[in-house]
């Protein structure tokens, strides 16, 4: 199958190794014609060629078209494009395609093959590339003429070299981001820094890095195989730090012709170059070395191909045409490309398939699927984004400006590390691509400028981040001063930034000096030694300022940290008493013992005052000499529990307290609840937050629980969190949630008046207290030891006499009353059912079971057939006795607790 179109002009294949001036020759030939188009393999190279032609002809006649950038003046004569973005049907006098050997590339080869077969100039066409393409071009392109160009300089093998012995003007090549960064970090430590060049960089970032290398600011370059695609750099030696790469599907060794393309970047114009290996790469085989030095490689046997004649009748028909196989022996169907995978993914989504009903819909869907996956997050996420864009475009209104602005705003952030900035650059490329498509956005000019501006800002930030991480401008200055034994000048500004010889050395974080993370170990010691000379007086000044700072400037974290504003200044550790933790101050040894002691003393004062203020009721109770005997012992137990004790833990002690003792404790705010003995004043958010920290310290926990958000009546009962943690937080687990203990006691008060044996239903007050739905309340009651029986019944109509409506409500009621029966809606005749629950006391017999309703006197409330005094013992698992309950009439001779809110009712019943 010969698919080359009829040529209207001369077709010449200019083949040869690198450094033969092929691209330069193509530019000169294009400028000799009135109009021309040149397709280049990289966006970076396209930008470089564009700048060169603009310098010769001016910007008014030169266009730049890539996937993410489009600069097209009205009088454009010369078009510089990436190969994928070459426009069809321009009818230019001259056409050139660079690096045609990429026709064999598994990922992009089908695009280059299509241009090789179809792209032609009216007067002249140049095919530029490696000699390995000669047989394929001769077979596929009729009447082609061949021109071989020889290298301007010699290329020789230099063997293996350590990075520490890498000569100046060297480029180390890696094939992954991690490998590139690792080599760059090694060069920074050993050589003072390097430039970084990768295909994923934006042209602006790449140019800034290259300029730094070309100007001699750094003597070394770390790059991916992107430098093998025609980038003109002043490189004397190329070292391979790896000889295998991931090609999108698998790890594979580099082909010899790929290594030749990269190694050939050494030696510019007439200057000879060398190549070799570094790191853990084994020396190259002699046969490979000979091939690289003499540029002799096996011819390419197959070119990647994809059917260019697409049919858009249906989605399935389009997929079928894309998957057709070629009939020519020189062509082979390429691997499934990203755009085809995206098309299949979208076609499998029912919502998309239902909307694709016309060939125009199929064509639009295919255009959307061709948006490159710059983000490389996952195929599913990419397909989801494409589905969203397709939905916008199918409406005919394009991508909404407000939505697009929101997407761009999330990306337009110049803070963060190299990885974060690189990801944002990849993200903005998607919207740059969308903005370049005609009719996809409302204001194309605005969004093209907007996305370009964001990309420029991110590019500048990425260049700064790369330079900061991989270029150490201080090394030569510091080493020279150190060898000369000169005193290094260090300064501290009001932000705590420390500079040595005008270069940033680190930061004073509170009373600790944190060295610059980009420093090597030896350099860090040197910087710290100079920095501490300047910091000694600063440490004393800060200590005085901190000691006199008000408590409002200090705080503690929920993990026991101590903060001075935003600065961590120390931490709490377990002390001799639960309510008196000790502090550890974060102070460098070089600051001196006086500073450390002053900081620690101030921190101890702060936490002692904080405990005294937040736990004042409990501390006052512990100091009350009027409390004696059992009451004093109970007050001690309550202090040990930080003001909260589950009642079942102290049931015996509570039983022994008489009413006078209880009254004395109540004067200090102690409440004897049915479920918990607690001090309501200590349930506020501030005491709760501190109580959790103190309890965690006392228990020796590594990670402290965080206090619940204030104001919540219930919180989730999370599996694995101990009940003691909930108690210290002021909650008690019951079912799927935990309820605040003060609200639980209010609920218990309402439950006491119910017939727990015969069964009762929840009333609105119960639901209001808990803030729960009926189903949630049923789960809570079961967690408290009640059985909940679900039922349904006909919903009762509200009785008019219950409350006299007023205002608008009265008018509505009146209107309803006056409505004739025949006018009532038909559906009202059907009985409406409602769900209800009947609750009965049914405790589960276990060691830590919930008690039934309890009086203030400490014993369970007597009910007919309900719970009473435990009778008999049955040992459960673990040796603890289980309790059984039987009915027992109340003892009438028992004195009634005068503080019990049901005392009057009980007295009336006794008469």
**Pair of tokens at residue 378:** 């996952």
Q: pLDDT at position 606, please?
A: 95
pLDDT tens digit sequence for 335-369 = 888 899 999 999 999 999 999 999 999 999 999 99
Give the number of other CB atoms < 10 A from CB of residue 416.
15
Residue 740 has pLDDT above 60, yes or no: yes
**Pair of tokens at residue 601:** 């003393």
**Alpha-carbon separation of residue 270 from 14, 20, 150, 153, 221 (angstroms):** 20, 10, 12, 5, 21
Q: pLDDT at position 545, please?
A: 92
Q: Are 93 and 36 in contact (CB under 8 A)?
A: yes
Q: pLDDT at position 54, please?
A: 96
DSSP-derived 3-state class of residue 472: coil
Highest mean pLDDT pick, 26-35, 83-92, 295-304, 418-427:
26-35
DSSP-derived 3-state class of residue 614: helix
Q: pLDDT at position 499, please?
A: 80
Q: pLDDT at position 798, please?
A: 63
The residues with which 506 forms a beta bridge, in sequence order, are: 498, 515
For the beta sheet containing 490-492, the strands, ordered from the edge strand earlier in sequence to the opposite edge, are 490-492, 497-500, 503-509, 512-515
Residue 881 has pLDDT above 60, yes or no: no
CA distance 871 to 868: 9
Helices marked H in 32-86: 43-57
463-494 as b/e: b if 16+ CB within 10 A:
bebbbbbbbbebbeebeebeeeeeebebebee
Residue 896 has pLDDT above 90, yes or no: no
Residue 62 has pLDDT above 70, yes or no: yes
DSSP-derived 3-state class of residue 575: strand
List of residues 6+ apart from 406 with CB closer than 8 A: none
CA distance 10 to 121: 8
DSSP-derived 3-state class of residue 285: coil
pLDDT tens digit sequence for 234-287 = 899 999 999 998 877 788 898 898 898 889 888 877 788 999 999 889 999 999
Share of the chain above pLDDT 90, in %: 51
Lowest-confidence region among 78-87, 449-458, 873-882: 873-882
Residue 818 has pLDDT above 80, yes or no: no
Q: pLDDT at position 203, please?
A: 80
Residue among 334, 335, 328 nearest 4 (CA): 328
Q: pLDDT at position 230, please?
A: 60
Share of the chain above pLDDT 70, in %: 84
Mean of pLDDT values over 800-827: 47
Residue 478 has pLDDT above 60, yes or no: no
pLDDT tens digit sequence for 143-189 = 999 999 988 888 999 999 988 888 888 999 998 888 898 899 888 87
Beta-sheet pairing, 78-82 with 331-333: unpaired
Between helix 685-699 and helix 593-614 the angle, nearest 10°, is: 120
Q: pLDDT at position 638, please?
A: 92
DSSP-derived 3-state class of residue 545: helix
pLDDT tens digit sequence for 380-402 = 889 999 999 999 999 888 899 99
The residue whose two tokens read 């409350």 is 803
Residue 440 has pLDDT above 90, yes or no: yes
DSSP 492-522: E-TT-EEEETTEEEEEEETBEEEE-TTS-HH
Q: Are 500 and 490 in contact (CB under 8 A)?
A: yes
Q: Is 617 exposed, middle or buried (CB count within 10 Å of its CB: 0-12, 13-18, 19+)? A: middle
Task: Give the model's confidence band at 69: pLDDT under 50 very low, under 70 low, under 90 confident, else very high.
Answer: confident
Beta strands in 89-199 (DSSP E): 94-97, 124-129, 145-148, 155-160, 170-173, 195-197
pLDDT tens digit sequence for 646-681 = 999 999 999 999 999 999 999 999 999 999 999 999
List of residues 6+ apart from 816 with CB closer than 8 A: none
Residue 320 has pLDDT above 70, yes or no: yes
List of residues 6+ apart from 576 with CB closer than 8 A: none
Residue among 614, 633, 619, 637 nearest 692 (CA): 614
Residue among 554, 510, 469 nearest 186 (CA): 469
Beta strands in 16-87 (DSSP E): 36-40, 62-65, 70-71, 78-82
The structure's pTM equals 0.54
Residue among 513, 509, 517 nearest 490 (CA): 513
Residue 909 has pLDDT above 90, yes or no: no
Between helix 401-411 and helix 444-470 the angle, nearest 10°, is: 10
Q: Are 35 and 80 in contact (CB under 8 A)?
A: no
User: For residues 520 and 269, which has the higher predicted lDDT (pLDDT)?
Assistant: 269
pLDDT tens digit sequence for 191-246 = 778 999 887 788 889 888 888 888 877 889 999 887 777 667 889 999 999 999 88
DSSP 348-366: TSHHHHHH--SHHHHHHHH
Indicate the average pLDDT of the chain: 83
Q: pLDDT at position 856, please?
A: 42
Task: Give the model's confidence band at 521: pLDDT under 50 very low, under 70 low, under 90 confident, else very high.
Answer: low
The residue whose two tokens read 């673990």 is 878
Task: Give the model's confidence band at 726: pLDDT under 50 very low, under 70 low, under 90 confident, else very high.
Answer: very high
The residues with which 646 forms a beta bridge, in sequence order, are: 676
User: For residues 2 and 62, which has the higher predicted lDDT (pLDDT)?
Assistant: 62
Task: Give the model's confidence band at 43: pLDDT under 50 very low, under 70 low, under 90 confident, else very high.
Answer: confident
Mean of pLDDT values over 476-493: 58
634-646 as b/e: b if 16+ CB within 10 A:
bbeebbebbbbbb
Give the number of other CB atoms < 10 A from CB of residue 372.
17
List of residues 6+ apart from 804 with CB closer than 8 A: 810
Q: pLDDT at position 316, please?
A: 94
Task: Give the model's confidence band at 114: pLDDT under 50 very low, under 70 low, under 90 confident, else very high.
Answer: very high
Q: Are 186 and 279 in contact (CB under 8 A)?
A: no
CA torsion angle 662 665 670 674 (round to 10): -20
Give the up-direction half-sphere exposure of residue 602: CA atoms within 13 A in the CB hemisphere: 25
**Alpha-carbon separation of residue 251 from 242, 601, 700 (angstroms):** 12, 60, 49
Task: Give the model's confidence band at 618: pLDDT under 50 very low, under 70 low, under 90 confident, else very high.
Answer: very high
Q: pLDDT at position 809, please?
A: 45
Q: pLDDT at position 553, please?
A: 93
pLDDT tens digit sequence for 829-857 = 566 888 899 999 987 654 444 444 444 44
Q: pLDDT at position 832, please?
A: 83
CA torsion angle 128 130 135 141 (round to 10): -10
Phi, psi dihedrals of residue 28, rounded to the nearest 5°: -65, -40
CA distance 105 to 116: 14
Q: pLDDT at position 899, please?
A: 42
DSSP-derived 3-state class of residue 151: coil
């Amino acid at each position: 199958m010969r698919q080359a179109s009829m040529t209207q002009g001369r077709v010449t294949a200019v083949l040869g190794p690198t450094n033969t001036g092929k691209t330069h020759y193509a530019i000169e030939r294009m400028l000799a014609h009135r109009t021309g188009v040149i397709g280049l393999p990289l966006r970076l190279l396209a930008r470089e060629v564009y700048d060169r032609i603009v310098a010769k002809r001016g910007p008014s006649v030169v266009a730049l078209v890539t996937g993410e950038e489009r600069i097209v003046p009205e009088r454009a004569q010369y078009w510089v494009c990436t190969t994928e973005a070459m426009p069809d049907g321009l009818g230019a006098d001259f056409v050139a395609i660079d690096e045609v050997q990429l026709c064999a590339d598994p990922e992009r080869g089908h695009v280059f093959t299509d241009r090789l077969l179809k792209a032609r100039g009216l007067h002249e066409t140049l095919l530029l590339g490696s000699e390995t393409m000669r047989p394929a071009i001769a077979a596929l392109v009729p009447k082609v003429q061949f021109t071989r160009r020889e290298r301007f300089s010699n290329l020789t093998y230099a063997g293996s070299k350590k990075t520490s012995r890498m000569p100046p003007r060297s480029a180390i090549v890696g094939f992954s981001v991690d490998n590139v960064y690792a080599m760059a970090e090694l060069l920074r430590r050993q050589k003072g820094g390097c430039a970084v060049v990768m295909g994923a960089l934006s042209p602006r970032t790449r140019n800034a890095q290259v300029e730094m290398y070309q100007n001699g600011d750094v003597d070394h370059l770390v790059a991916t195989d992107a430098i093998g695609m025609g980038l003109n750099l002043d490189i004397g030696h190329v070292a391979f730090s790896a000889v295998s790469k991931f090609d999108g599907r698998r790890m594979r060794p580099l082909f010899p012709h790929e290594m030749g393309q990269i190694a050939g970047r050494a030696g510019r114009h007439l200057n000879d170059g060398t190549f070799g290996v570094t790191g853990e790469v084994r020396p190259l085989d002699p046969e490979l070395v000979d091939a690289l030095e003499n540029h002799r490689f096996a011819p390419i046997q197959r070119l990647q191909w994809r059917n260019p004649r697409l049919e858009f009748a249906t989605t399935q028909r389009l997929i079928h045409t894309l998957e057709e196989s070629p009939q020519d022996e020189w062509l082979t169907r390429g691997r499934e490309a990203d755009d085809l995978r995206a098309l299949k993914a979208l076609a499998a989504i029912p919502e998309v398939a239902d909307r694709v009903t016309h060939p125009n819909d199929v064509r639009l869907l295919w255009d959307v699927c061709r948006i490159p996956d710059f983000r490389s997050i996952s195929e599913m996420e990419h397909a989801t984004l494409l589905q969203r864009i397709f939905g916008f475009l199918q409406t005919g209104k394009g991508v909404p400006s407000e939505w697009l602005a929101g997407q761009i705003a999330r990306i337009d952030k110049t803070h963060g590390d190299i990885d974060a900035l690189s990801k944002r650059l990849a993200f903005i490329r998607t919207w740059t691509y969308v903005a370049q498509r005609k009719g996809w956005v409302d204001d194309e000019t605005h969004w093209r400028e907007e996305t370009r501006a964001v990309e420029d800002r991110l590019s500048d930030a990425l260049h700064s981040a790369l330079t900061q991480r991989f270029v150490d401008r201080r090394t030569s200055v510091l080493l020279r001063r150190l060898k000369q034994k000169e005193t290094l000048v260090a300064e501290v500004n009001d932000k705590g930034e420390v500079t040595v010889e005008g270069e940033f050395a680190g930061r004073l974080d509170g009373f600790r000096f944190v060295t610059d993370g980009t420093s090597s170990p030896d350099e860090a010691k040197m910087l710290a030694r100079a920095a501490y000379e300047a910091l000694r007086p600063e440490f004393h000044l800060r200590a005085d300022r901190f000691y006199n700072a008000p408590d409002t400037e200090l705080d503690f974290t929920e993990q026991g940290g101590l903060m001075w504003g935003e600065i961590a200044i120390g931490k709490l550790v377990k002390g001799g008493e639960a309510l008196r933790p000790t502090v550890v101050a974060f102070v460098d040894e070089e600051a001196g013992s006086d500073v450390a002691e002053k900081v620690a003393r101030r921190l101890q004062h702060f936490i002692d005052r904080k405990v005294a203020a937040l736990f004042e009721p409990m501390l006052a109770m512990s100091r009350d000499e009027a409390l004696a005997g059992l009451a004093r012992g109970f007050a001690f137990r309550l202090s040990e529990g930080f003001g909260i004790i589950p009642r079942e833990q102290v049931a015996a002690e509570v039983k022994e307290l008489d009413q006078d003792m209880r009254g004395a404790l109540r004067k200090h705010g102690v409440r004897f609840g049915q479920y918990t003995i607690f001090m309501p004043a200590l349930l506020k958010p501030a005491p709760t937050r501190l109580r959790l920290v103190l309890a965690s310290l006392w228990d020796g926990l590594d990670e402290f629980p965080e206090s619940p958000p204030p104001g919540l009546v219930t919180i989730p009962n999370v599996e694995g969190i101990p009940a003691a943690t909930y108690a210290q937080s002021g909650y008690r687990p019951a079912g799927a949630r935990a309820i605040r203990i003060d609200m639980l006691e209010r609920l218990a008060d309402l439950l006491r008046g119910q017939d727990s044996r015969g069964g009762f239903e929840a009333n609105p007050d119960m639901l209001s207290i808990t803030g729960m739905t009926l189903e949630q309340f049923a789960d809570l009651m079961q967690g408290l030891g009640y059985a909940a029986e679900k039922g349904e019944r006909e919903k009762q109509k509200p009785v008019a006499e219950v409350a006299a409506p007023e205002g608008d409500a009265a008018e509505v009621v009146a209107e309803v009353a006056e409505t004739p029966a025949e006018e009532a809606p038909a559906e009202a005749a059907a009985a409406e059912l409602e769900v209800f629950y009947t609750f009965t006391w049914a405790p589960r017999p276990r060691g830590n079971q919930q008690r039934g309703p309890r009086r203030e006197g400490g014993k369970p409330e007597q009910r007919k057939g309900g719970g009473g005094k435990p009778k008999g013992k049955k040992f459960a698992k673990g040796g603890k006795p289980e309790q059984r309950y039987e009915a027992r009439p109340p003892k009438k001779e028992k004195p009634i607790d005068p503080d019990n809110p049901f005392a009057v009712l009980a007295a009336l019943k006794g008469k």
